[in-house]
Amino acid sequence: MTLTLVERPSPNHAARAADPVDILVLHYTELPLKESLDILSDDKREGRVSAHYVLDLDGTAYRLVPEGRTAWHAGRSYWRGREALNATSIGIEIVNLHGDRHDYPPAQVSALIELCTGILSRHPAIEPRNVVGHSDIAPQRKIDPGRRFPWKTLAEAGIGLWPRPGARPLDGDFQAGLQRFGYTPPIAVPPREIVKAFQRRFRPAQVDGMADPETRARLAGLLDPLGGAL
Ligand SMILES: [Zn+2]
Rounded to 5 degrees, what angle do the CA atoms 12, 16, 17 make? Answer: 135
Q: Is 93 a catalytic residue?
A: yes
Domain ranges of the chain: 1-160, 163-230
pTM for the predicted model, two decimal places: 0.97
Taking the C-alpha atoms of residue 29 and residue 59, their distance in angstroms, rounded to an integer, is: 14
Which DSSP state fits 86? G
The CATH class of the 163-230 domain is mainly alpha
Which DSSP state fits 79? E
Q: Which of 35, 93, 114, 127 is catalytic?
A: 93
- Residue predicted with more confidence, 18 or 175: 175
Tell me the pLDDT tens digit for each residue of 44-82. 999 999 999 999 999 999 999 999 999 999 999 999 999
How far, in Å, is the centroid of ligand 1 from the Cα of 3?
23
b (16+ CB within 10 A) / e for 129-141: bbbbbbbbbbbee
Is the CA virtual torsion 24, 29, 35, 40 positive or negative? negative
Considering the chain, what percentage of its residues have pLDDT values greater than 70? 98
Task: Report, at the CATH architecture level, how domain 1-160 is classified.
Answer: 3-Layer(aba) Sandwich (3.40)
Q: What is the pLDDT of residue 1?
A: 64
1-160 shares its CATH topology with 163-230: no
Tell me the pLDDT tens digit for each residue of 134-166. 999 999 999 999 999 999 999 999 999 999 999
How far, in Å, is the centroid of ligand 1 from the Cα of 29?
7
Q: What is the pLDDT of residue 229?
A: 55
Model confidence at 111: pLDDT above 60: yes
Please give the C-alpha separations between residue 156 and each of 19, 69, 108, 121, 153, in angstroms, as whole numbers: 29, 29, 16, 16, 5
